[in-house]
Amino acid sequence: CEDCPYDVEVDLTDLVSGDRIVVETTYTVGGMVLQRRTYIYTLFIPLPRLTDVAYADPAPSPALPPFDAEVFEYDLFLPVGTSSTQVTLSKTPGELVTAVSYRAPGAAAGDAVTVCTDCNYQEAYPVTNLRGGDRIVVETTYTVGGAVVYQATYVYTLYLATATPTSSPTPEWVLAGEGMCRDYLLTAVADLHSANIFEPACRAACAAKDDCTGYSWGAFAEMERRHRRGLLAVP
């Protein structure tokens, strides 16, 4: 407002954190400015953000690390044979829009399967027809006045695995699959240079095994990355 009325509320809309409200006062006599004052109020408004993306029925094993809004990639380990789970979202106060989808490795964003858009919070959503290597994508957007203020994407890569006995204090994880396919797969992950040996043998042995096929082709690059980072222990 200019020449604002006093003792009257003036609406300020579409505010975001960091905006500055500037109040200028001027005292004039006979057209001459005798006093001018400027007051500045800098706004600090917490952004609404996700606080948890929880999976259940079945629960991940090992459990996911605590959710961190600044960590954008997670490994989701579920039991062999799992084809569905449930995801529940939590957030801080504020108007945050979240969408959940999933897609096979290498699939285009347009091929993603929608779980929910403008999802409700504290509500369990079923995620079905999953295969090893699928990626569950959680996208959050905070807008003010039609402008995007904050946006984040969290990716959960699905691994269907089972723990095997080991003398090591750290559980070892083996991938879904049987016989020659599993042997070649473990060999290829242990020795990253043997991928050219792994592919033809595993293709023949696992053509009809969904879990193994998902790991073999869709998640192979991911497994290499995990192995390089030391996050996937191979017997």
57: alpha, beta or left? (left if phi > 0; alpha if psi -120 to 50): left
- For 1-17, how does the pLDDT look when each residue is reduced to its tens digit (9 = 90+)? 999 999 999 999 999 98
CB atoms within 10 A of CB 132: 26
Q: Which residue has the higher pLDDT, 222 or 43?
A: 43
pLDDT at 233 over 80: no
Residues 169 and 154 in one domain: no
Domain count, the chain: 2
Residues 135 and 200 in one domain: no
Task: Look at residues 161, 184, 202 and tell me which one is the last residue of a structural domain.
Answer: 161
Q: Which domain holds residue 111?
A: 50-161
CB distance 135 to 105 below 8 Å: yes
The whole-number average pLDDT for the span 230-235 is 45
Residues 185 and 131 in one domain: no
Sign of the C-alpha dihedral computed for residues 217, 58, 137 and 111 taken in this order: positive
The enclosing domain of 73 has a CATH number of 2.60.40
Within a domain: residue 7?
no
Q: Which residue has the higher pLDDT, 193 or 133?
A: 133
Q: To the nearest 10°, the Cα dihedral for 60, 72, 84, 182?
A: -70
Within a domain: residue 30?
no
Q: Distances in Å between the alpha carbon of 185 and those of 8, 157, 175, 225?
A: 73, 18, 8, 15
Distance CA 78, CA 56 (A): 10
- For 221-232, how does the pLDDT look when each residue is reduced to its tens digit (9 = 90+)? 455 555 545 544
User: What is the CA 24 to chain-centroid distance, rounded?
Assistant: 45
Residues 175 and 136 in one domain: no
Q: What is the pTM of this model?
A: 0.64
